[in-house]
């Protein structure tokens, strides 16, 4: 077998096979023990690029050489989202079946823009999203479409809502029109920044993104929403879109979806639910009461790449108005015309969003759902919620820590507030917690992140990794306590 690639065409397939086997072994070892690595990359900015050649190779290099560099140069610069002690942001993990799905998808390398460019990709997407909808108890007439992330899903939802207004924005645009009222869009002050970003991208304007106050649980206050809508109507504006979140990014607050649905109906707003993270909890019958009102939404996003063990990226936008979504985005140049598309006997996913070229993402989700089963997925998510609630209980009982928000899902917002610091005021507590965060993350043993809630610096510990167990959460709690004592003893 030759290590020398030919001068044209594909590389030697025996070399590919050998490296491929080696890499599957490597991945299996990695998944068996990601704890051999520090969870947060222990490198400084520029450390990795300094080890890489500044110009590309002119001659072919062998796969073993490339893989050796991957291990020696790239791996030390990786932050390990697969690590069971990854508790930062929303801890999204992939899984072995998801990786195999990605592998096959990369190998097939199809572009699923049209049904005919890979019929199975289109049909598997439709079927898998229908399954997912059933698993999440979504209304059966909703249709889903796979997007890269929730930021895109949120933006596409806004664009669809704008199209539903029938203000001819698709044709005439928004600029320089005296016949167009100011469009107003409502989110809560805790909504994810991507909703606002989507509005900016679509020319709605930041001034027209109205951030509604939240209650003591960080959930949108429907009375404040009603007041804002009425003030805008009185000013001659056009309220058109409201977003409720199930599982906000900072504290996983749950907006009152039924009350928002009532207002959306009363004032004829498009009601979008951002369930990028929390949508997955609808797998659990005991969590479904939080979703009351979501069944009246016009659209909803859920991200299997956040909490359903599907490798990033894969977000799903569901809507009860697929025809409006299509109307917002469909353009049919001659070179993309097909007989079955014209006859409308098939779905061409290019019509349901911005992307023309589309990866075969449904494959990995289908493999994940089949390999774990609905019950297996639900059991894992339920366990993550249990672990987080247990951690929240320890925080609550501790004299040195306090909770800063309720823990309805698997993310705990808390801070250190030892009695000796309490008299020093909020600024000192913020500083202490920032120091604690840096210190625990620097150990490489755990990775947590932070947010601000009502101006207070909050640590965030989110459980969502497929490998996280009781002992990991216990060790994280121990490390936080030990590190706090060290900091206290130095001051």
Ligand X SMILES: Cc1ncc(COP(=O)(O)O)c(C=O)c1O
* Footprint of ligand X (CB under 6 A): 90, 149-151, 192, 194, 245, 249, 274, 276-277, 303, 315
Shortest CB 274 distance to ligand X, Å: 5
CA distance 213 to 463: 27
Of residues 82 and 252, the one with the C-beta less far from ligand X: 252
Of residues 169 and 412, the one with the C-beta less far from ligand X: 412
First-last CA distance in the chain? 65
Q: Are 115 and 122 in contact (CB under 8 A)?
A: yes
Of residues 112 and 247, the one with the C-beta less far from ligand X: 247
Comparing C-alpha atoms, which of 236, 246, 242, 289 is closest to residue 263?
A: 242
- The beta strand positions in 393-453, using DSSP E, are 401-403, 411-416, 449-453
Of residues 136 and 169, the one with the C-beta less far from ligand X: 136
Task: Find where tokens 């290099």 sit.
Answer: 61
Q: Output the residue with the shortest Cβ distance to ligand X.
A: 149
Shortest CB 121 distance to ligand X, Å: 21
Shortest CB 319 distance to ligand X, Å: 16
Shortest CB 111 distance to ligand X, Å: 22
Of residues 160 and 249, the one with the C-beta less far from ligand X: 249
C-alpha torsion sign, points 465, 470, 475, 476:
positive
Shortest CB 369 distance to ligand X, Å: 19
CA distance 213 to 202: 24
Q: What are phi and psi of 482, to 5 degrees?
A: -60, -45
Shortest CB 44 distance to ligand X, Å: 26
CA distance 203 to 209: 11
Comparing C-alpha atoms, which of 121, 133, 125, 98 is closest to residue 364?
A: 98
CA distances (Å), origin 4, targets 7, 17, 104: 9, 14, 25
Of residues 194 and 280, the one with the C-beta less far from ligand X: 194
Contacts of 378 (CB under 8 A, 6+ apart): 283, 284
Of residues 115 and 277, the one with the C-beta less far from ligand X: 277
Question: What strands lie across the sheet with 411-416, from one edge to the other?
Answer: 401-403, 411-416, 456-462, 449-453
Shortest CB 456 distance to ligand X, Å: 20
Of residues 212 and 276, the one with the C-beta less far from ligand X: 276
CA distance 385 to 409: 5
H or E stretch covering 368:
helix 362-397
Q: Are 274 and 245 in contact (CB under 8 A)?
A: yes
Shortest CB 435 distance to ligand X, Å: 25
Shortest CB 310 distance to ligand X, Å: 12
Of residues 90 and 391, the one with the C-beta less far from ligand X: 90
């Amino acid at each position: 077998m030759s290590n020398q690639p030919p001068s044209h065409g594909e590389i030697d397939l025996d070399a590919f096979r050998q490296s491929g086997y080696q890499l599957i072994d490597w991945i299996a070892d990695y998944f068996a023990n990601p704890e051999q690595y520090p969870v947060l990359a222990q490198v400084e900015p520029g450390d990795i690029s300094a080890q890489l050649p500044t110009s590309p190779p002119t001659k072919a290099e062998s796969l073993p050489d490339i893989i050796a560099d991957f291990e020696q140069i790239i791996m030390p610069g990786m932050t390990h989202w697969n690590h069971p002690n990854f508790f930062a942001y929303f801890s999204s993990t992939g899984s072995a079946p998801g990786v195999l799905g990605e592998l096959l998808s990369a190998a097939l390398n199809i572009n699923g823009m049209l049904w005919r460019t890979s019929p199975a990709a289109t049909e598997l997407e439709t079927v898998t999203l229908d399954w997912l909808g059933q698993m999440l108890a979504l209304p059966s007439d909703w249709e889903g479409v796979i997007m890269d992330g929730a930021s895109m899903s949120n933006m596409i939802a806004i664009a669809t809502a704008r199209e539903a207004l029938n203000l001819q924005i698709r044709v005439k645009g928004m600029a320089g029109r005296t016949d167009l009222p100011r469009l107003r869009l409502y989110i809560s002050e805790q909504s994810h920044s991507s909703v606002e970003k989507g509005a900016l991208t679509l020319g709605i304007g930041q001034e027209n993104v109205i951030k509604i106050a939240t209650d003591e649980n960080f959930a949108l206050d429907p009375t404040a929403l009603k007041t804002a809508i009425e003030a805008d109507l009185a000013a001659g504006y056009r309220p058109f879109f409201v977003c409720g979140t199930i599982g906000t990014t900072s504290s996983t607050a749950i907006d009152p979806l039924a009350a928002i649905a009532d207002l959306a109906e009363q004032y004829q707003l498009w009601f979008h639910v951002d369930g990028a993270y929390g949508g997955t909890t609808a797998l659990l019958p005991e969590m479904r009461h939080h979703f009351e009102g979501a069944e009246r939404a016009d659209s909803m996003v859920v991200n299997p790449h956040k909490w359903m063990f599907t490798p990033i990226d894969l977000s799903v936008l569901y809507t009860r108005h697929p025809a409006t979504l299509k109307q917002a985005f469909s353009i049919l140049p001659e070179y993309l015309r097909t007989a079955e598309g014209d006859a409308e006997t098939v779905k061409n996913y290019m019509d349901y969003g911005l992307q023309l070229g589309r990866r075969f993402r449904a494959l990995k989700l289908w493999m994940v759902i089949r390999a774990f089963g609905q019950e297996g997925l639900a059991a894992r998510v339920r366990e993550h919620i249990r672990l987080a609630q247990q951690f929240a209980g320890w925080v609550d009982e501790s004299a040195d820590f306090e909770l800063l928000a309720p823990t309805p899902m698997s993310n705990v917002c808390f801070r250190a507030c030892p009695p000796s610091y309490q008299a020093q005021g909020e600024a000192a507590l913020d500083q202490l917690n920032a120091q604690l965060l840096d210190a625990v993350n620097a150990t490489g043993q755990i990775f947590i992140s932070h947010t601000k809630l009502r101006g207070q610096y909050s640590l965030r510990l989110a459980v969502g990794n497929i490998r996280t167990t009781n002992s990991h959460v216990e060790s994280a709690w121990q490390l936080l306590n030990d590190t706090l004592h060290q900091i206290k003893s130095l001051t």
